[in-house]
Structure 1
Amino acid sequence: MEIRSDDGARVRIRPVGYQPGIDPPDDPERAAPGWQDWLFIEVDARTADGQTWSHHYPSLLVEEARALGSWLHGQATAASGPTPPPAMVRFTEPNLVLRTRAIRRRRLELTVEFSAESLPPWMRRPATAVYPLILTVSADALAAAADQWAGHCEAYPPRTRSRFPADGPLRRHRRAG
């Protein structure tokens, strides 16, 4: 998926395969502890002032990747209503965090926070470093990106039974606006 900001910043994120070197277990019931359905994620980002970086890293579980599309759709839909509260989504691997806040009706500020292996190469890398890429987008553009993301994820079905509760794999946080 690609999300472009009004100011020229953009982020492209797509799954490119299951984590290399990790084969699914023959019998998921007897899988070794710690084996997961990790997806190798390709990220290409550009700041508003033209700095770019990219990386490939197993950043999302298959179920997290699939649920991300629903979360993005939910944020786009919420932007159509009266001032939704800011929202955030985190994943098992902390490389990416996404946050939204409504700017005005049908306009959102989407912040993609990069950390650890996902940081831009020009940043120092202390364990707590975070680089926020802020994108101003329309609800329609976010919904289109969510559709694009869902299409990418169709190529990667879960190879194991879910380890998440029925309410999904994402850790969602809402704050009062």
Structure 2
Amino acid sequence: MRDEEQIRRRVLEAADRLFYAYGIQAVGMDAVRAEAQVSLKRLYSAFGSKDALVAAFLRDRSRQWDAGLAAAAEQAGDDPRERLLAVYDFLGTWFEQDGFRGCAFINSFGELGGVSAEIAEAVREQKASFQDYVARLAAEAGAPPSLAPQLAILAEGAQSTAAISGDGAAAADARAAAESLIDAALAPAGAR
């Protein structure tokens, strides 16, 4: 990895830790510089502005989210129903991690979505991407299209509930509700 790429990665990892732990507005570029152990000049060379760094932070969080979901689905095997439920298993593991503070996208939107069109758009893109992912899993299970947004809303609600309550049980509660929705959606027409 080239030196510039290493610096960029260090800055991004430092920003991720700080923005997620304390919020975007509470963290200045000097704090990111100190955490990354780079000069301010190198930081601004890697990311021209705080807005650019925040956008990169959100893109990287989206990549992490997508990779985590894909790994959970892969662990669930070939059963489409279990692949759908793996979303909630992924959430359960995440909620139990030290430093869990909820969804970085929801948090970022709450902080800056009203004043930064770039952040609002990045958050909307991530949420749409998640809904598309759940829709693909639901289609693979043979469920009607209406199931996907219902399951996505359960996941989003579980994230907010776990962050506010500090209780990771929200994932298990959402998983149980998802099982009911999936089973009802997949039941033969006469059984509904």
TM over 0.5: no
Structure ranking higher in strand proportion: 1
Give the TM-score, by structure 2 length.
0.28
Structure ranking higher in helix proportion: 2
Structure number with higher relative contact order (C-alpha < 8 Å, ≥ 6 residues apart): 1
Larger gyration radius, structure 1 or structure 2: 2
